[in-house]
Chains A and B, each alone.
Chain A
Amino acid sequence: MLVRECNVKFCRRDFFITFFSCAIATFFWFLKQKFAHSTEADVDALVHEKLNGILAKTGKITLDIPEVAENGASVQFTVTVESPMTEQDYVTAIHVFTEGNATPHVASYYLTPFSGKARLTSRFRLARKQHVRVLALMSDGAAYVARREVTVAVGGC
């Protein structure tokens, strides 16, 4: 029936139209959110690529990031990896990933035995509340991973 029969101002048909248009709008908004930022799966894929078949263990990495970052445009982080940093045993690479930024891969740092200490500090952007993941690759083939959640007051990306 195309002719509006009810006398009430807001009838059932109106309700359905409003309800479904809202639902569709929400659905598209979710899609936009999903594709605008990276997800955990994107980071999983990146980590998998870097690991190249090695099983990553937890531990040895100390990730120092404020739990609540006030300004997402510049968040300072410090990564420390327990390692003697000698010719035989040293950290070859440190990779930093974020699970909710437009570009999930933040940076990769390649160290040598001349580094002396496997520790570095830098600043990154965080778009919203998300997890940060750090992967450390050792010269003996071992890999370590650390994951931390950071709450961001004002996103910056």
Chain B
Amino acid sequence: MSEVQGRVRVQRVAYKGEIVEVKTTINHPMENGTRKDKEGNVIPKKYIKYFKCTYNDKEVFRSEWHPSISANPFLVFFLTAIESGNIYFEWIEDTGRVFKKSAEIIVES
């Protein structure tokens, strides 16, 4: 399996107060603990439990996922562009591993 890596798409420049679409995805199998491998052994549960979005040190979006979310979780949500800065994205696996990604946004008044 290739390395788990999150990918994010946010528009680079936005007007102040503009509603910006944020597209996120991460290549993760989201094992639900019921699948079996070729030898018939149960593959243990391993999935992304939390997703967080922080915009200039302010938590703006948070979500809690369960194994019913499909593999390679894809999520689109919206944010209001307030000021220039960084948007940080965090995917937290149930094992405690954290995958991070960030995007820069320039806000013009």
| A residues whose Cβ falls under 8 Å from a Cβ of B | 73-76, 98, 101-117, 119-125, 156-157
Contact = CB atoms under 8 A, between A and B. Distances in A.
Interface residues of B, number: 28
Contact of B79 (A73, A75, A116): A116
B63 A110 contact: yes
B63 A98 contact: no
Interface of B: 19-20, 32, 34, 55, 58-71, 73-80, 82
A117 B61 contact: no
Summarize B's interface: helix, strand, loop or mixed: strand
Looking at B59, B62, B78, B82, the one whose CB has the most chain A CB atoms below 10 A away is B78
B62 A102 contact: no
A109 B77 contact: yes
Q: When A and B form their complex, which 3 residue pairs have the shortest distance between CB atoms, in order from nearest? A: A116-B19, A116-B80, A121-B76
Contacts of A117: 19, 78
A86 B62 CA distance: 18
A111 B66 CA distance: 18
Given A106-B66, A115-B78, A157-B32, 5 more contacts: A109-B62, A114-B55, A115-B61, A121-B75, A122-B74
